Chains A and B, each alone.
Chain A
Amino acid sequence: MEVVIRIACIYVLLTLAFRALGKRELSQLSPFELVMLLLIAEIVSPALTAGDESFTGAVFGAATLLVLAFAHSALSYRFKAMQKLTEASPALVVYHGRILEDVTRKERLRPDEIFSEMHKAGIERLDEVKFGFIEPDGMMSFVRVDHEDTHVPEQPAPA
């Protein structure tokens, strides 16, 4: 049936498109990006249903989408290549108090955005950051320098 194929195609297209857009677009939407997402929804909506307004079509469409999402999740877990194709990896953007400019350019991440995220995490200065990452969901996470001093006890040797 047409609606199944249409939804599968749009799902694959949008998954790859969002993968290509980059992580930053996922976490924070600027007004332009919000408009873009709303317009994408408007544009693809008629193509998905092709004028089929029936309840039957909606049930089949929803089931198709859910099965695709489940299959995507299972395949991404099982196959690294699938994960790499559809999901971004975390990127190191701050290394021992130094912003890695090459990475921030690729991620389109400004220093003030890094600072804003640092402040949200309760970090005042860049030199307090040992590692700063931009995660696959677009959020930033930090490992503080003073974590180096945290003593992790060794596992007791088996008796």
Chain B
Amino acid sequence: MTEPREEPPQAPEVQPRLRFRKLEIVGVGIMALLPLAALAGAFGPAMERQEARAGSLTIEAEYPSRIRNAMTERITVDLSNEAAAPVSDIEVAFEPAFVEAFENLMFTPEPEHPYVFTIDTLEPGETRRIAIEVLAREYGRHEGTIGVDHAGGTAELPVRTTIFP
């Protein structure tokens, strides 16, 4: 005959009802807002697009409206000639204060003068892109303009970037 096995003592069962301290509710509530805000897209990197016309030129600028410190992004300006005739001597100028808010600037193509690009001729239907690869470093809000100038017209596109720390 085998002896009945003695079971080790078990912890008593209690109804597992959750109760939180006020400080926990407030603290965790505030902390939970951060990932929720992040999931909703707040404080994340975002790009913005601006469009303008300068005579027969269509200008499309895309730039980071929100970016985080140490992130790399591209500012691009696309110029399209929608006229039947070529457009000559186009000048695209970035406001230095805006561009200098970034570091490690890489230009495509290389500018003629600091932050000023010149396009000799844009044939009808042709599109040309100017791009600057930037590294965000100086946190805060940075504003500026991208100016396009040629004999047939001028345009100014406002640009604004917020760099989060």
| Interface positions of A (Cβ within 8 A of B) | 1-5, 52-57, 59-60, 63-64, 66-67, 70, 74, 77-80, 92, 95-96, 131, 133, 143
Contact = CB atoms under 8 A, between A and B. Distances in A.
A77 B35 contact: no
A55 B29 CA distance: 21
A4 B42 CA distance: 12
A67 B28 contact: yes
B69 A53 contact: yes
A57 B68 contact: yes
A52 B43 contact: no
Contact of A1 (B6, B39, B69, B165): B39
B31 A54 contact: no
Contacts of A52: 68, 70-71
A37 B28 CA distance: 29
A92 B70 CA distance: 53
A56 B70 contact: no
Summarize A's interface: helix, strand, loop or mixed: helix
The 8 A-B pairs of least Cβ separation, nearest first, read: A1-B38, A54-B68, A63-B34, A54-B69, A56-B164, A53-B70, A55-B165, A64-B35
B41 interface: yes
A54 B165 contact: yes
Contacts of B20: 74
Q: What is the size category of the interface that chain B forms with chain A?
A: 20 to 34
Given A1-B44, A133-B8, A59 B28 contact: no
Nearest to A90: B8
If over half of B's interface residues share one DSSP class (helix, strand or loop), that class is named, otherwise mixed; here it is loop
A22 B85 CA distance: 76
Contacts of B12: none
B38 A60 contact: yes
B16 interface: yes
B32 interface: yes
Contacts of B165: 54-56
Contacts of A55: 69, 164-165
B18 interface: yes
A86 B54 CA distance: 63
